[in-house]
């Protein structure tokens, strides 16, 4: 009948307790801030492991290997999209005293640490579903089938060593309210499918290796710079680095054609001016050259007292 296990903030040093998967009613498994280590099995032995688990907190431990999401792939509780907002996870203890029946309801609470801040849930809604693997040493890619866990409200995979692209299938998690993938080595673009997560209140992909456009519209218009810091390849609002395609639409064909016609006109007009100037220059040069030659001839005649020779004198010289 065990429903909740909370060993948070202790010094347990062991591998992941896979044997807990045998408890059919286990809903909350909180192992936060211990010294758990090693790899978690790639896949469960049967499809009946953790059948009703809906909150898993492995944060601030030393788990290694690939993300153990495959281990929880068959979690029916995380796949169900049921919203029971007014029902809380609780236990009811009943006893009879004489003719009276006494019932005591104990409602479970939990604490989740995010960015160094503790958020305490005095009551845990029956519908609340979360996976928190913050600050471990998980490696590899985020599997595409994570989009099958449609009941998730919170997913935190930050501060690990994850690589590859952000799966577009995350856009299937329409109930997601918090998504933190920060401080990893994720690359590629932010999938535009994430813009359809209309309930997303918190989003963080900072300090990765992401590039390209930041999706716009809906919830993405509410996130500030801190959600995208540390990705030098990202551009677009809310960052100061703008994307040139989104900021300036290409000119219309008419404007473009007009600019070409203007450029052609200026080009032709410019060459006409050059040619006219060149021809005019040749004429001026010829005139100046002729004047200079005439003046030079007169100067030579005066300087050396030379007289112009007529035709007769030239014929006598030839005869002689």
DSSP string for residues in 256-272: HHHHHHHHHHHHHHHHH
Cα distance between residue 258 and residue 65, in whole Å: 61
Res 75 pLDDT > 80: no
Q: Are residues 173 and 80 in the same domain?
A: yes
* Residue 25 structure tokens: 């009613």
Q: Which residue's structure tokens are 């059919």?
A: 24
Res 6 pLDDT > 80: yes
Q: Are residues 153 and 273 in the same domain?
A: no
Of 247, 268, 288, the last residue of a domain is 247
Q: Are residues 186 and 313 in the same domain?
A: no
Mean pLDDT (whole number) for 172-184: 94
Q: Are residues 99 and 77 in the same domain?
A: yes
pLDDT of residue 46: 65
Specify the higher pLDDT residue, 7 or 74: 7
The whole domain housing 274 covers: 253-319
Of 216, 231, 247, the last residue of a domain is 247
Q: Are residues 211 and 291 in the same domain?
A: no
Specify the higher pLDDT residue, 288 or 170: 170
Cα distance between residue 178 and residue 228, in whole Å: 15
Residue 192 has what DSSP assignment? G
Cα distance between residue 257 and residue 251, in whole Å: 10
Give the tens place of pLDDT for each residue, 219-235.
Answer: 899 999 999 999 999 99
Q: Are residues 236 and 260 in the same domain?
A: no
Mean pLDDT (whole number) for 29-52: 83
pLDDT of residue 219: 87
Q: Shortest CA distance to 66 belongs to which of 5, 170, 157, 142?
A: 142
pLDDT of residue 266: 46
Q: Please give the radius of gyration of the chain, using alpha carbons only, rounded to the nearest integer.
A: 42
Q: Are residues 140 and 59 in the same domain?
A: yes
Confidence of residue 69 (pLDDT cuts 50, 70, 90): confident
Cα distance between residue 226 and residue 92, in whole Å: 44
pLDDT of residue 318: 53
From the number of C-beta atoms within 10 Å of its C-beta (0-12, 13-18, 19+), residue 245 rates as: exposed
Res 99 pLDDT > 70: no
Q: How far is CA 60 from CA 13, 39, 72, 103, 194, in A?
A: 12, 15, 19, 38, 27
Whole-model pTM? 0.67
CATH code of residue 22: 3.80.10.10
Q: Are residues 43 and 78 in the same domain?
A: yes
Mean pLDDT (whole number) for 130-151: 92
Relative to beta strand 90-97, strand 100-107 is: antiparallel
Distance from chain centroid for Cα 88? 36
Using DSSP, state whether 158 is helix, strand or coil.
coil
Q: What is the mean pLDDT of the chain?
A: 75
Relative to beta strand 55-57, strand 130-132 is: parallel
pLDDT of residue 243: 86
The pLDDT > 90 percentage for the chain reads 40
Of 247, 264, 297, the last residue of a domain is 247
Using DSSP, state whether 243 is helix, strand or coil.
coil
Residues 6+ apart with CB under 8 A from 237: 214, 216, 221
pLDDT of residue 264: 46
Q: Are residues 214 and 293 in the same domain?
A: no
Relative to beta strand 110-114, strand 117-121 is: antiparallel
Give the tens place of pLDDT for each residue, 246-277.
Answer: 444 444 444 444 444 444 444 454 544 444 45
Mean pLDDT (whole number) for 23-29: 90
Res 186 pLDDT > 60: yes
Mean pLDDT (whole number) for 295-320: 52
Q: Are residues 96 and 207 in the same domain?
A: yes
Q: Are residues 72 and 134 in the same domain?
A: yes
Domain count within the chain = 2
Specify the higher pLDDT residue, 296 or 254: 296
Distance from chain centroid for Cα 3? 38
Q: Are residues 226 and 268 in the same domain?
A: no
């Amino acid at each position: 009948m065990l429903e909740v296990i909370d060993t948070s903030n202790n010094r347990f040093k062991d591998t992941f307790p896979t044997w807990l998967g045998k408890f059919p009613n286990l809903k909350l498994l909180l192992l936060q801030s211990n010294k758990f280590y090693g790899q978690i099995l790639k896949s469960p032995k049967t499809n009946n492991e953790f059948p009703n688990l809906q909150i898993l907190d492995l944060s601030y431990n030393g788990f290694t290997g690939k993300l153990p999401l495959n281990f929880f792939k068959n979690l029916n509780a995380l796949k169900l999209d049921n919203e029971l907002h007014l029902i809380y996870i609780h236990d009811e203890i009943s006893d009879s005293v004489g003719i009276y029946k006494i019932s005591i309801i104990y409602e479970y609470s939990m604490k989740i640490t995010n960015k160094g801040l503790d958020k305490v849930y005095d009551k845990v809604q029956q519908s609340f579903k979360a996976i928190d693997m913050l600050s471990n040493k998980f490696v590899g890619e985020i599997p595409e089938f994570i989009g099958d866990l449609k009941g998730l409200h919170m997913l935190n995979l930050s501060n690990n060593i994850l690589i590859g692209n952000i799966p577009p299938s995350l856009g299937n998690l329409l109930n997601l309210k918090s998504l933190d993938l920060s401080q990893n080595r994720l690359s590629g673009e932010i999938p535009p499918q994430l813009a359809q997560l209309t309930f997303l209140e918190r989003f963080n992909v900072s300090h990765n290796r992401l590039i390209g456009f930041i999706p716009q519209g809906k919830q993405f218009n509410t996130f500030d710079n801190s959600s995208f810091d540390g990705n030098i390849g990202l551009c677009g609002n809310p960052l100061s680095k703008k994307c040139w395609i989104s900021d300036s639409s290409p000119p219309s064909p008419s404007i473009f054609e007009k600019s070409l016609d203007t450029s052609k006109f200026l080009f032709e007009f410019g060459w006409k001016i050059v040619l006219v100037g060149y021809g005019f220059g040749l004429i001026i040069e010829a005139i100046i050259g002729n004047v200079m030659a005439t003046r030079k001839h007169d100067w030579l005649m005066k300087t050396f007292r030379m007289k112009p020779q007529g035709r007769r004198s030239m014929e006598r010289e030839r005869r002689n």
